[in-house]
């Protein structure tokens, strides 16, 4: 009963599902797709990993009329990272529908190129509320033909203060449209938004079966403020420290902690909201391609990141409130493997721990950490290193070209080459650390796609 083939989907969409290897619907898809395809408004409680993107993606692509060159579907996301992920997923689902034009419009990116690409109406826009609102106000984006509006991770959009922008956007687009609202949590504010922007929505909640929930082991460790960094470094020295996310409450601490970890021999990078988009992208690429072991971030910066499956999450500072704590620990725990979430807590921060304990309804698992005597600097370097090529999609550079250059003339083995990420004007390739210098030298001496591009190594 839960096969996609039971749904009245366009053959092109069924073909994409087949290519993607999706045969059975996830619970969220099975419940939300029938009412969405029938044109109803839907409010669905769905987490990352539930298959929600494909759910609303199929609904909006099914409603799309490609021959009508108008904006027909608008997806609002809290962060650029999420908007990029959603765009990628939608492109895959739309792969068999010719001529679909999809644009990603996010804040933090220059306006000029966005205006240029809006010279002709796209069919689908995925973006962050502030920037989409700006384009609608300027008249560079026309909302009169919108048939489907998606609010993805609506709770996070409200957390980030996008409530007014969303209301304004709704006031600027076609009056009659279908609104699909996805949210991991249902606080009162979400109900209020739903009441404002939806009509008789079908509400969907999917209980995640306990055995399907990733197992998370928590540890709370009391430390004096002066020993926090020693404790953190010790915790990160183990196997799980090979891919860990560290939370700090304040931006300035994010930098300080990342620098100190770096000084102590870890491949650590900082991520916070003050960073230029380009630097953020670079940090995320390096963390995902394993040339950085430890990402130190604020909660805001970590929102919407597609890095759910980490073996270790450490709160360098205990979260101010239980909800934030829950979001943080949810970043660990992989299918079949227990994730570890460690919270450092100074004696003065005990009241925050008490709040978390009350919210969790169970005693906190306090552990003691015996600090090892300081040793000399030990290196805990990431297994890969990143090379940056100053060329990208605009130069028609594709991952295959980079792989070809490295395995061809440069003589590397494909197994030593990691993730390749191609952006508009830059491309990143991860190389096994021991071979990175050689790869850099060879790439500089040789050609990629018959051309010479500037290449450099990071760190």
Q: Tokens standing for 316?
A: 């360098």
Cα angle 392, 99, 115 (rounded to 5 degrees) comes to 55
Among 10, 15, 34, 49, binds ligand AMP (CB under 6 A): 49
Beta strand spans in 206-332 (E) = 216-222, 244-247, 268-271, 294-297, 312-315
How many Cβ atoms sit within 10 Å of the Cβ of residue 20? 13
How many Cβ atoms sit within 10 Å of the Cβ of residue 350? 12
Quote the least distance from Cβ 152 to ligand AMP, whole Å: 9
d(CA 297, CA 271): 5
Site string for ligand AMP, 300-329 (x = CB under 6 A): ------------------------------
Quote the least distance from Cβ 305 to ligand AMP, whole Å: 12
133-148 in b/e form (b: 16+ CB < 10 A) is bbbbeeebbbbebbbb
Q: Is 54 in the site for ligand AMP (CB under 6 A)?
A: yes
Contacting range for ligand AMP; rule: CB under 6 A; set: 42-50, 269-277, 289-297, 422-430: 42-50
Q: Is 126 in the site for ligand AMP (CB under 6 A)?
A: no
List binders of ligand AMP among 430-459 (CB under 6 A).
none
Among 30, 35, 44, 51, binds ligand AMP (CB under 6 A): 51
DSSP 8-state symbol, 3? B
Cβ distance to ligand AMP smaller for residue 310 or 406: 310
From the number of C-beta atoms within 10 Å of its C-beta (0-12, 13-18, 19+), residue 378 rates as exposed
Cβ distance to ligand AMP smaller for residue 419 or 433: 419
Cβ distance to ligand AMP smaller for residue 92 or 142: 92
State the number of binding residues for ligand AMP (CB under 6 A): 12
CA nearest to 432, candidates 392, 388, 385: 385
Contacting range for ligand AMP; rule: CB under 6 A; set: 43-51, 207-215, 227-235, 250-258: 43-51
178-207 in b/e form (b: 16+ CB < 10 A) is bbbbbbbbeeeebeebbeebbeebbbbebe
Quote the least distance from Cβ 183 to ligand AMP, whole Å: 13
Q: Is 88 in the site for ligand AMP (CB under 6 A)?
A: no
Among 50, 198, 218, 324, binds ligand AMP (CB under 6 A): 50
Quote the least distance from Cβ 200 to ligand AMP, whole Å: 25
In terms of DSSP H, where are the helices of 64-148? 80-93, 111-117, 129-138
Q: Is 48 in the site for ligand AMP (CB under 6 A)?
A: yes
Among 9, 25, 388, 417, binds ligand AMP (CB under 6 A): 25
Among 31, 32, 53, 291, binds ligand AMP (CB under 6 A): 53
Quote the least distance from Cβ 49 to ligand AMP, whole Å: 5
Residue nearest to ligand AMP (CB): 53
Q: Is 52 in the site for ligand AMP (CB under 6 A)?
A: yes
Strand pairing report for 384-389 and 455-457: antiparallel
DSSP 8-state symbol, 222? E
From the number of C-beta atoms within 10 Å of its C-beta (0-12, 13-18, 19+), residue 275 rates as middle
Among 7, 16, 26, 327, binds ligand AMP (CB under 6 A): 26
List binders of ligand AMP among 391-410 (CB under 6 A).
none
Contact residues: ligand AMP, CB under 6 A: 22, 24-26, 29, 48-54
């Amino acid at each position: 009963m839960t096969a996609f083939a039971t749904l009245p989907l366009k053959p092109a969409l069924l073909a994409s599902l087949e290519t993607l290897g999706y045969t059975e619907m996830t619970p969220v898809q099975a419940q939300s797709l029938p009412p969405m395809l029938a044109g109803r408004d839907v409010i669905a409680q769905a987490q990352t990993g539930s298959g929600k993107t494909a759910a609303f993606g199929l609904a909006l692509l099914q409603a799309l009329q490609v021959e009508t060159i108008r904006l027909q579907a608008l997806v609002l996301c809290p962060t650029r990272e999420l908007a990029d992920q959603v765009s990628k997923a939608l492109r895959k689902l739309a792969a068999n529908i010719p001529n679909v034009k999809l644009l990603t419009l996010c804040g933090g990116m220059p306006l000029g190129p966005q205006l240029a690409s809006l010279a002709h109406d796209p069919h689908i826009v995925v973006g962050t509320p502030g920037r989409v609102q700006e384009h609608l106000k300027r008249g560079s984006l026309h909302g009169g033909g919108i048939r489907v509006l998606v609010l993805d991770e609506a709770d996070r959009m409200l957390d980030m203060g996008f409530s007014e922008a969303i209301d304004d956007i709704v006031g600027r687009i076609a009056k009659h449209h279908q609104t699909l609202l996805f949210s991991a949590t249902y606080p009162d504010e979400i109900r209020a938004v739903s009441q404002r922007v939806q009509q008789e929505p079908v509400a969907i909640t999917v209980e995640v079966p306990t055995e399907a929930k990733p197992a998370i082991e928590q540890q709370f460790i009391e430390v004096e403020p002066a020993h926090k960094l020693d404790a953190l470094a010790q915790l990160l020295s183990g196997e799980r420290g090979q891919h860990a996310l560290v939370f700090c409450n304040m931006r300035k601490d994010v930098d300080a902690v990342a620098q100190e970890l770096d000084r102590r021999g870890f491949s650590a990078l900082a991520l916070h909201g003050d960073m230029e988009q380009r630097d953020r992208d670079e940090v995320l690429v390096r963390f995902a391609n394993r040339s950085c072991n430890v990402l130190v971030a604020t909660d805001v910066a970590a929102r919407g990141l597609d890095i759910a499956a980490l073996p270790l999450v450490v709160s360098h500072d205990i979260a101010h409130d239980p909800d934030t704590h829950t979001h943080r620990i949810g970043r660990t725990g992989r299918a079949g493997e227990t994730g570890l979430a460690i919270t450092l807590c100074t004696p003065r921060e005990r009241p925050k721990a008490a709040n978390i304990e009350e919210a969790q309804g169970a005693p906190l698992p306090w552990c003691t950490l015996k600090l090892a005597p300081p040793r000399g600097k030990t290196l805990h370097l990431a297994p890969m290193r990143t090379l940056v090529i100053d060329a990208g999609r605009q130069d028609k550079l594709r991952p295959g070209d980079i792989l070809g250059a490295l395995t061809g003339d440069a003589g590397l083995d494909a197994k030593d080459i990691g993730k390749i990420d191609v952006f508009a004007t830059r491309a990143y390739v991860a190389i096994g650390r021991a071979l990175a210098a050689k790869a850099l030298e060879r790439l500089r001496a040789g050609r990629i796609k018959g051309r010479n591009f500037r290449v450099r190594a990071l760190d």
